C-alpha cells in the first residue's frame, strides 16, 4: 500500500488535525470524539445540523462543516460507523434549544448507532430528530443496508437544510425540507478501480484490467453487475437511464446535475462526463438548472464517478443557491 499515511490507526485523527489547522478561524476539533464543529456552534438561535458517517468519503462530511452547511461532523474510522458514544457526546455538546438534526446515510451500522444516540440524548432532554438519506438507485437492499444506500446525493440534503437553518427554520421545517430533497434526489455510480482502506492495506475487491463495477457502493459494495469497460458515452447513458427512469424525471423537468468523483479520478474526466450528461439531458427535454462537478462524496482512492439528479422547484433551487462557506476552497 502506497499512501500518504503514518500509522493507519491515526489516519482519521491526523487528517482531522490537518483540517482544523487549515481552518483556524472557522473550525474546531475535539479529538476525544473525532468531532469537527463550527467555531460558532452551538448557536442558540438555530437548529444544530450534524452529519455522521464512516470516514473515507471526504470531503463528506468533515470538510462540509461551515456556515450554510453542517454545524458539526461526527466521523467514524474509515468505512466504519461512528461509535454510539461519540454521537451521543457530540449531540449533547452541540445541542441547541431549537434542537438538533442528525443527518445519516442509510447504512445499518450507522442507523443503529444514531438511533441509540438519539434515544440517550432525548433521555437527557435534548430535542433531536434524525433524517435518513437513501438516494442510490443501483440496488434495493445491499451489503450494509436494508433499503437503498445513501451516497453523493446527501450533499443536496445537507445544503438545503443548512441554508434553511441559517434562515431560522425550526426542526419540523428542516425535516420537511430534508425529506423533500431526499425524495427527489437519485444517484448511481460506477467504479473503474477498487479502493484501499489504510488498515487493510490492499484493495477491498478485485477488478480486472478491463472491468468496471456498475452501480458500485461508496464502500466498494457490489452494484448491479460487473462488466467490461466501455467508452464514456455509453457509461453515462447507463447511469443517466438508471437515474432518470427511477424517479422518473421527465421532459420539462428542471434539475441539478452532479458529476461526483470517487477519489482517484481527475477533474478533467469529470468535466468530460459532465458535458456528455448535460447534452443527453438536453436531448430528453430536461433542463440543467444547476451543476456540480468535482468530489463531494468519495471512496478513498477509488477511480470512478457517480451521477446525481435532483428535481428542482423554486424552494429547492433557492436553498441550493444560498451562500455557504466550508473548508473546501481554492482561494
Q: What are the catalytic residues?
A: 57, 219
Of the pair 116, 204, the CB lying nearest its own copies is at 204
Gyration radius from the chain CA atoms = 19
Residue 298 found at the interface with its own copies (CB under 8 A):
yes
Q: Rounded CA gap, 81 and 110, in Å?
A: 5
Told to check if 293 binds its own copies by CB under 8 A, we report yes
272 makes contact with its own copies (CB under 8 A): yes
- The answer to whether 308 and 258 have CB atoms below 8 angstroms apart is yes
Length of the chain: 331
The answer to whether residue 39 forms part of the interface with its own copies (CB under 8 A) is no
User: Contact letters (x/-) for its own copies, 109-148, by CB under 8 A?
Assistant: ----------------------------------------
Pick the closer one to its own copies by CB: 125 or 231: 231
Q: For residue 24, give the DSSP letter.
A: T
For position 276 contacting its own copies by CB under 8 A, the verdict is yes
Contact by Cβ (8 Å): 195, 220:
yes
Considering the rule CB under 8 A, would residue 25 count as an interface residue with its own copies? Answer: no
Q: Are 162 and 169 in contact (CB under 8 A)?
A: no
Candidates 46, 30, 268, 295; CA nearest to 168 is 46
Residue 29 CA: distances (Å) to CA of 33, 60, 74, 121: 9, 16, 10, 21
268 binds its own copies (CB under 8 A): yes
Grid coordinates belonging to 133 = 438519506
Residues binding its own copies (CB under 8 A):
2-7, 11, 14-19, 21-22, 55-56, 58-59, 63, 159, 192-193, 209-210, 212, 229, 231-233, 235, 263-276, 278-279, 288, 291-296, 298, 300-301, 303, 305, 320, 323-324, 326, 328-331
Amino acid at each position: 500500500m502506497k499512501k500518504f499515511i503514518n500509522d493507519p490507526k491515526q489516519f482519521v485523527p491526523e487528517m482531522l488535525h490537518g483540517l482544523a489547522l487549515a481552518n483556524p478561524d472557522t473550525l474546531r476539533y475535539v479529538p476525544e470524539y473525532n468531532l469537527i464543529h463550527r467555531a460558532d456552534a452551538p448557536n442558540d438561535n438555530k437548529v444544530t445540523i450534524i452529519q455522521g458517517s464512516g470516514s473515507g468519503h471526504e470531503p463528506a462530511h468533515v470538510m462540509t462543516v461551515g456556515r450554510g452547511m453542517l454545524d458539526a461532523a461526527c466521523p467514524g474510522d474509515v468505512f466504519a460507523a461512528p461509535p454510539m458514544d461519540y454521537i451521543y457526546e457530540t449531540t449533547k455538546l452541540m445541542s441547541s434549544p431549537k434542537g438538533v438534526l442528525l443527518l445519516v446515510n442509510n447504512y445499518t451500522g450507522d442507523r443503529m448507532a444514531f438511533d441509540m444516540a438519539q434515544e440517550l440524548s432525548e433521555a437527557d432532554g435534548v430535542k433531536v430528530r434524525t433524517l435518513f438519506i437513501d438516494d442510490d438507485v443501483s440496488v434495493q437492499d445491499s451489503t450494509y443496508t436494508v433499503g437503498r444506500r445513501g451516497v453523493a446525493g446527501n450533499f443536496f440534503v445537507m445544503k438545503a437544510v443548512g441554508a434553511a437553518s441559517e434562515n431560522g427554520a425550526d426542526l419540523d421545517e428542516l425535516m420537511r425540507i430534508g425529506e423533500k430533497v431526499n425524495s427527489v434526489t437519485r444517484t448511481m455510480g460506477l467504479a473503474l478501480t477498487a479502493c484501499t482502506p489504510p488498515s487493510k492495506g490492499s484493495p477491498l475487491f478485485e477488478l480486472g484490467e478491463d472491468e468496471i463495477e456498475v452501480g458500485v457502493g461508496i464502500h466498494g459494495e457490489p452494484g448491479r453487475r460487473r462488466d467490461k469497460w466501455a467508452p464514456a458515452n455509453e457509461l453515462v447513458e447507463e447511469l443517466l437511464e438508471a437515474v432518470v427512469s427511477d424517479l422518473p424525471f421527465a421532459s420539462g423537468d428542471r434539475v441539478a446535475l452532479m458529476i461526483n468523483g470517487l477519489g482517484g479520478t481527475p477533474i478533467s474526466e469529470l468535466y468530460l462526463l459532465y458535458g456528455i450528461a448535460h447534452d443527453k439531458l438536453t436531448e430528453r427535454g430536461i433542463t440543467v438548472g444547476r451543476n456540480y462537478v468535482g468530489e463531494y462524496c468519495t471512496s478513498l482512492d477509488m477511480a470512478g464517478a457517480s451521477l446525481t439528479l435532483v428535481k428542482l422547484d423554486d424552494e429547492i433551487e433557492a436553498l441550493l443557491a444560498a451562500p455557504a462557506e466550508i473548508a473546501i476552497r481554492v482561494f
